[in-house]
Amino acid sequence: MKNRIKKSMALLLAVIMLITTAPLAGFDGLFVSKVDLETDLANSPLKNTLLTHYNKRAVNTLIKAMQTKKAENMMHFLSQNHNSLSCLSGDNIVLPLNDLKSKVEERIHPTND
């Protein structure tokens, strides 16, 4: 019985890992990345800006650099490259931000009043 549960959980995790950044049905506000945030960003339309900022030529070394001191590095990148973020507007990686924006706007300006 335990092995069957473990296999079911492993299968479930594998399926979740295959899902692109998209909302999970029945879990409002929960999104799953393709791989992880750094890998998804390194393979997004922001890739060239990231490679330049981190002074890297290969995606794998870029990802490693981004994963080092995550918050500090991301804050530094954003402070210098915030104008470059518009290239992500049509990318799935911004779905969680769009969802959050909609929820905040609905609370500020409810349409159901």
pLDDT tens for each residue of 29-63: 677 778 888 999 999 999 999 999 999 999 999 99
pLDDT for res 63: 96
pLDDT for res 113: 55
pLDDT tens for each residue of 26-36: 556 677 778 88
For residue 17, pLDDT beyond 50: no
Contact 63, 79 (CB under 8 A): no
